[in-house]
Structure 1
Amino acid sequence: MKKYLFLLLIGSLVTSCKLDNYDPPASELKGRIVYKGEPIGVEYNNVTFELWEPGWGKKGSINVNVDQDGSYATQLFDGNYKLIIPSYQGPFKSIPNAETKSDTIPVQLRGSRTMDIEVLPYYMIRNATFTGGEKKVSTQFSIEKIITDASAKNIEEVALYISKTSFVDVRTNIASQVIKGADLKTMNRIQMQVTVPTITPAQNFVFARVKLKVSGVEDPIFSAIQKVTY
C-alpha cells in the first residue's frame, strides 16, 4: 500500500513539473505616454494602466507601471489585448480610440512592439530650465493650459523639487518651493528657487524637476528630470 501511494506521489510530482515547465513571456510591449509625441512626466510607480486579455479564464488585468519619464515596458505572451487607462490614473484624460469609439485601445502583439499612448493632459509644463550656484537651484518655466472646455480644471499648486538621486517627487525631495495656484500671477516665465541643504555624503549636484498639481486630480504632471551642479 505504501509503495502504491509512493508511486502515485511521484507521478503527481512529475505531472506537476510538466505543467509548470512552460516558457516565460518573450514579447515586449513598450512605449511612452505622450501628448502630441511629447512624453508626460509623472511620479515614479504611481501611475499605471491595465491590459486585459480575453479568454484563458483570467479574472484580472495585467497592471503596467509608467516610469517618471512617461515610459513603460512589460513582458507579455503574444495575443490580443485591451488597453485601458482608468479615469483616476494620470494627470490627463484618455482620448477615445478610433476603432472602439471608447477609451479601450486594442493591442495586437505578435513579437515585441513599441507603441506610444496618446493622451490629453490638463496642462503642460513648457521650457523648464534649471541653474545652480552658491548652494541654490533655480528654475524658470511656463505653463500651457491644454483642456479649455467644460472639463477644464484649475491649478492647485506648482512646486520645484530637488533630490539627491534621480528619483524626484514629493516623497524623495530634500528641498522644495511651492506656489499655490491662486497665488500664480502669470503662466509665463515663472521663477522658483530652493536652497540646497547639507548632503551626506557630500556631492556637488542634485536632480531637479517642476511639478504641477491639478485641482481634483490625484496625479501631478512633471517636467523632465535634470541634473544640476550647484
Structure 2
Amino acid sequence: MKIKASILIILIVTTCIFTGCEYDNFTEPTSTLTGRVVYNGEPVGVRTNGPQLELWEDGHELRAQFPIHVTHDGTFSAVLFDGEYKLVRKTNSPWLPQLTDTIIINVNGHTAVDVPVEPYFTLSNISFQHNNGEITANFFLNKIIETANLDNVNLYLGKNLLIDDVRHDLKTTLSTDNITIDGSNNMVVEIPANLRSLGYIFVRIGVKASASGELYYSQVQKVNL
C-alpha cells in the first residue's frame, strides 16, 4: 500500500509540474482598444482616473469585467484579446449614466472607437489671458440636460499638466450667483508667486452638476507668463 501511495504521489507531482508549465506559458493579449469619450464629436475633459467605463466579455465559463479608466483629455486604452465586448457608461460621471445602453465592440488587432456621452453641462468659447500677474478666464457655460442643477464652477492653476479638483496648485470657485447659464462668463485670479516664477502655468475650468461627483473639464492649456 505504501508503494502504491508513493507512486500515486509521484504521478500527481509530475502532472502538476507539466500543468504548471502550461499555465506559465499562456498567451498574453496583444490587441489594443483605444478611444475617446466624446460629445458632439469633441473629447470630454475629465479627472484622470476619475470617471470609468466598463467592458464586459461573454462566452467563457466566467463573465469577465474590465474597468477602463479615462485620462484627463477624454481618451482611454486597453490591451485585450480579440473578441466581442460590451461597453457600459458608468454612473458618477459628468454625463448621464447609460447602464442599460451598451455599445458592442469587436476587437481585432488595433481597434479605435468613440464613446458618445451626454454631459450635464459643457464649456465652450474658452480663452485664458495673462496680464499683470493675473489670469482672466472667459467661457460660455452650456446646460445640456434640462433637469440638471449647477453645483459649482472652478478655475484651476498648476505647475503640472495634470490639474483637476484633486491635483492643483490653486483652485478658485466662482459664486453661482455670478454665473450665467447658457451665457458668457469670466473669472479673474491672481497667480501665486511660486507659479509666476516658473514662466508658465497650466490652466483649465471645471463645472460640476449636483447629480454627479465628477466635473466636466475644459482641456488643459499652457499659458506663458
1:17-65: CA deviations, max 9, x gaps? 2123122111111110111101111111001111110132235510000
Q: How does 1:22-171 map to 2 (within 5 A)?
A: 22-86=26-90, 88-94=91-97, 102-148=100-146, 152-171=147-166
1:156-207: CA deviations, max 9, x gaps? 1101001110011122211122023344245433111222223389411111
In structure 1, what is the Cα distance between the partners aligned to 2:14 and 2:201? 59
In structure 1, what is the Cα distance between the partners aligned to 2:24 and 2:14? 15
Partner of 1:172: 167
User: How many angstroms does 1:145 deviate by?
Assistant: 1.4
Paired letter, 1:134:
N
In structure 2, what is the Cα distance between the partners aligned to 1:56 and 1:115? 24
Give the 3-state SS of the residue equivalent to 1:74 in structure 2. strand
> Which stretch of structure 1 is more off in the superposition, 56-65 or 163-172?
56-65
| TM-score, normalised relative to structure 1 | 0.86
| TM-score, normalised relative to structure 2 | 0.88
Q: How does 1:193-212 map to 2 (within 5 A)?
A: 193-199=188-194, 202-212=197-207
Give the 3-state SS of the residue equivalent to 1:115 in structure 2. strand
Structure 2: gaps spanning 5 or more residues:
none
Cα contact 1:166–1:207 (8 A) shared by 2 = yes
The size of the alignment, in residue pairs, is 221
Give the 3-state SS of the residue equivalent to 1:176 in structure 2. strand
1:70-118: CA deviations, max 9, x gaps? 11111110111111112x232112569xxxxx41111111222110011
Identity %: 30
Cα 1:49–1:173 change in 2 (3 A) is same
Paired letter, 1:33:
V
In structure 1, what is the Cα distance between the partners aligned to 2:129 and 2:34? 33
Match 2:210 to one of 190, 211, 215: 215
User: How many angstroms does 1:129 deviate by?
Assistant: 0.6
Cα contact 2:37–2:114 (8 A) shared by 1 = yes
In structure 2, what is the Cα distance between the partners aligned to 1:180 and 1:17? 63
User: How many angstroms does 1:13 deviate by?
Assistant: 2.7
Give the 3-state SS of the residue equivalent to 1:30 in structure 2. strand
Cα 1:103–1:194 change in 2 (3 A) is same
Cα 1:185–1:118 change in 2 (3 A) is closer
- Say what the alpha-carbon RMSD is for the aligned residues: 2.4
1:122-154: CA deviations, max 9, x gaps? 111011111223332221000111122xxx211
Cα contact 1:51–1:63 (8 A) shared by 2 = yes
Structure 1: gaps spanning 5 or more residues:
97-101
Cα 1:34–1:185 change in 2 (3 A) is closer
Paired letter, 1:78:
D
> Which stretch of structure 1 is more off in the superposition, 126-135 or 185-194?
185-194
